Amino acid sequence: MGTIQNHGIIAVTVITVLLSVFGYYQSPITAEIVERPEEAEPVKDLIHSNVLEKGYRINGLHGPESIAIDQHGNIYTGLLDGRIVKIHKSATGALGEGLVEDIVTGPISGVKPIDGHYKTRPLGIRLHQGKLYIVDAYYGLYSVELTTKEIEVLIKPDDVAPAMKFPNDLDISQDGEYLYFTDTSSRWNLHELYFELLEGSCKGRFFRYSFKSGNIKLLANKLCFPNGVQLLDNGKVALVSETTRFRVLFIDTRLGKVSNYVTVPGYPDNIRKNAKNEYWIALPIRRTKLFDFVMDHPMLRQIVTGILPMSWIRALSNTKIGMALKINQHGKIIGAVHDLTGKVSNTVSEILETKDGQIFAGSYREAYMVKCQT
């Protein structure tokens, strides 16, 4: 019996070694050492409220990543099927609960999409002076005139060098002079985002575009999964989510220097300002000890991405929560909203707070938007 057990142990060991070697050399990534960021303040110790758990879902909106609202209470968002839609008020005046009207429905003409992904995927959305400004993960940046629905291409993926692979979010200066935007990676596209995460490389960039001249200036590079963008009220500093480092950077909008950062207990996504000049940071994925362990071991990441399907890799992350933190202009955490049960809200990608305290929580993958009251 002992001999049989020994043979079994040897066989398992040999198979494990062979699989590891195969996975290591078949992996699409080149895993790098990742400096472990400090732990954020524990969630249980934050000033927070479970209002997302008390909210309700507005269904039929699959993947409402980013949200904008106009002066009439119409809501705009981009969906997983590539559409950008306008959600009218209901007959009773309820925001976000009326007729859903298509604004953009198909590929953007005149643009060669990233890696042949002809299906659009609108991510960051902003509304400025009667136009929607959109970052599309495969088509770059463009605007839509709301009255005519006319599209104007602003920045193509190959307008910068190296070309963008993962354009993500944007903000516009109050005077309308500049547009700021992130490219999460010059190597991996949106479809490959977990490769970008697990590789541990920092190939993201933060840019400034001039509406007047059309010039694009690189403000910061070697960023680690730069994601959401939000200008502070004075326009001199931009908040930029550095997703795989669990932090939000304060970047000078003239020189591109990092002056401060705030660490958060999850993977930060979009950042949006409320009427009180406070800033909501969406946290669609919770930080876990398992994922920290994986990130601490480059060889393990190399092997895992070589032998496991993408669906299994995604399962390593904790997405069964809804959460967003609120900070002030100095980076101090001053509040949060959450659904730690995940019963109502999951994978919150952005928070829109209206002037009267209504909250709309978008999601990059769920088939709904969550509405609640602060």
- pLDDT for 208 equals 98
**pLDDT score for 18:** 60
pLDDT average, residue stretch 189-218: 94
**Cα–Cα distance measured from residue 365 to residue 64, given in angstroms and rounded to the nearest whole number:** 7
CA 231/CA 91 separation, integer angstroms: 35
**The pLDDT value given to residue 38:** 73
Q: What is the dihedral of CA 321, 241, 225, 283, to 10 degrees?
A: 0
Residue 68: the pLDDT is 98
Residue 45 has pLDDT above 80, yes or no: no
What is the tens place of the pLDDT at every residue in 237-282?
999 999 999 999 999 999 999 999 999 988 999 999 999 999 999 9
What local confidence, expressed as pLDDT, does residue 49 receive? 87
CA dist 345 and 356 (Å) reads: 21
List of E strands, 146-245 = 150-155, 167-172, 178-183, 204-210, 216-223, 226-231, 237-242
pLDDT band per the 50, 70, 90 thresholds, residue 36: confident
b/e 169-206 (16+ beta carbons within 10 angstroms → b): bbbbbeeeebbbbbbbbbbbbbebbbbbbbbbbbbbbb
- How much is the pLDDT for 211? 97
* Boundaries of every domain in the chain: 31-284+319-373
Residue 12 pLDDT > 80: no
Alpha carbon 352 to chain centroid distance? Answer: 14
Residue 27 pLDDT > 70: yes
Q: Is the pLDDT of residue 48 over 70?
A: no
Give the pLDDT score at 317: 72
Q: Give the tens place of pLDDT for each residue, 327-359.
A: 999 999 999 999 988 999 999 999 999 999 999
Is the predicted pLDDT of residue 7 greater than 60, yes or no?
A: no
Distance from the Cα of residue 105 to its chain's centroid: 22
Count the alpha carbons within 13 Å of 151 in the hemisphere toward its beta carbon.
19
Could you report the per-residue pLDDT of 105-163, keeping only the tens digit for each?
A: 989 999 999 999 999 999 999 999 999 999 999 999 999 999 999 999 999 999 999 99
**How many alpha carbons fall within 13 Å on the CB side of residue 211?**
15
- 313/29 Cα distance (integer angstroms): 13
Assign 295 a pLDDT band (cuts: 50, 70, 90). Answer: confident
Contact 362, 325 (CB under 8 A): no
Quote the tokens at residue 325: 């933190």
Measured between alpha carbons, how far is residue 324 from residues 249, 254, 257, 354, 373 in Å? 16, 28, 26, 15, 14
Token pair of 42, please? 């524990």
Q: What pLDDT was estimated at residue 373?
A: 87
Q: Across all residues in the chain, what is the average pLDDT? A: 91
Q: Name the band, by pLDDT with cuts 50, 70 and 90, for residue 19.
A: low
Mean of pLDDT values over 66-71: 97
Q: Topology of domain 31-284+319-373, per CATH?
A: Neuraminidase (2.120.10)
Query: For the residues 195-213, what does the mean pLDDT come to?
Result: 94
What pLDDT, on the 0 to 100 scale, is given for residue 11? 62
Confidence of residue 43 (pLDDT cuts 50, 70, 90): low
Global confidence as pTM:
0.93
Confidence tier at 85 by pLDDT (50, 70, 90) = very high
Q: What percent of the chain has pLDDT over 90?
A: 73
> Of all helices (H) and strands (E), which one includes residue 311?
helix 310-314
